[in-house]
């Protein structure tokens, strides 16, 4: 039997989205958001703010929100790339099906969006609280994400995954491993190539089961906002505190 799994199908996205597209996005995010406040500290431009009545919390949240908007713009660019690439392949290769928009949006909201908010918030908050360790914060986040999205899932393939790990994995790599068994094929009932391709097309576009993992991913994104709140409350911009 000969067939292929389309990269923009539910099955294809679960295999590639966390370990490729989302990983590439996350590798960029700390450099977008982490220096929101520390850049002012390094340039001493924050001292100009001491002459204004701008509240400290407003300054910190303003820097965070502009970085978050840029990060969300990159996440939207990833969504557009998936949909447009699927459309282009469909137009040039008739056998390639259109990307299931509902599935793409579901996985983007459940996997890409929470990861974008989490990494952006974590990098910004830690760098704001520890401005002299900004580079270390970026390195730790990147290394931890690579381990969680690439190394650990590779070692866990073929094993029984704990439900809590599948549901709460911020990288979504282990979450995808927990969802993939739904897309397995029963080859014993397939008798010819045409039947095989039809069954494969039906299975690969099934809606992923959101039970268990969807809400925890959004909760992780929400909890990361608390770190930004802590950073805004704890940040001091006077010279004697910063020196």
Distance of CA 203 to the CA centre of its chain: 25
On whether residue 226 sits in a domain, the answer given is: yes
Give the span between the Cα atoms of 211 and 106, in whole angstroms: 12
Mean pLDDT, residues 109-131: 95
Give the per-residue pLDDT at 54: 82
CA separation for the pair 220, 233 (Å, rounded):
21
Residue 178 lies in a domain: yes
Number of domains in the chain: 1
Is a pLDDT exceeding 90 seen at residue 22? Answer: yes
pLDDT value of residue 84 = 96
Dihedral of CA 75/113/232/125: which sign? negative
Q: Alpha helices, DSSP H only, in 34-55?
A: 38-43, 46-49
Q: Would you say residue 27 lies in a domain?
A: yes
pTM over 0.75: yes
Which of 50-54, 204-208, 232-236 is least confident?
50-54
Q: Using an 8 Å Cβ cutoff, are 137 and 130 in contact?
A: yes
The residue segments making up the domain with residue 207 are 10-242
First to last CA, the chain: 68
In a domain, 2, yes or no: no
Q: Is the residue at 4 inside a domain?
A: no
| Range among 12-16, 35-39, 53-57, 115-119 rated most confident | 115-119
Q: Is the pLDDT of residue 95 over 90?
A: no
């Amino acid at each position: 039997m000969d067939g292929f799994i389309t990269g923009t199908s539910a099955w294809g996205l679960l295999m590639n989205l966390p370990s490729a597209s989302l990983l590439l996005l996350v590798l960029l995010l700390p450099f977008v958001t982490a220096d929101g406040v520390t850049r002012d500290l390094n340039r001493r431009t924050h001292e100009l703010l001491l002459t204004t009545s701008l509240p400290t919390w407003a300054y910190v949240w303003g820097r965070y929100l502009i970085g978050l908007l840029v990060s969300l713009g990159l996440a939207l660019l990833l969504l557009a790339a998936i949909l447009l690439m699927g459309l282009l392949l469909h137009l040039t290769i008739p056998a390639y099906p259109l990307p299931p928009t509902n599935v793409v949006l579901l996985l983007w909201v459940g996997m890409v969006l929470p990861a974008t908010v989490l990494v952006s918030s974590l990098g910004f908050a830690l760098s704001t609280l520890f401005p002299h360790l900004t580079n270390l914060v970026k390195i730790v986040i990147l290394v931890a994400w690579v381990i969680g999205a690439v190394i650990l899932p590779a070692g866990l393939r073929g094993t029984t995954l704990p439900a809590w790990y599948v549901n709460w994995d911020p990288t979504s790599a282990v979450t995808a491993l927990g969802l993939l068994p739904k897309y397995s094929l029963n080859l014993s009932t397939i008798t010819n190539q045409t039947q095989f391709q039809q069954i494969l097309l039906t299975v690969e576009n099934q809606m992923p089961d959101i039970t268990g993992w969807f809400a925890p991913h959004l909760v992780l994104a929400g909890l990361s906002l608390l770190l930004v709140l802590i950073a805004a409350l704890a940040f001091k911009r006077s010279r004697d505190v910063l020196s």
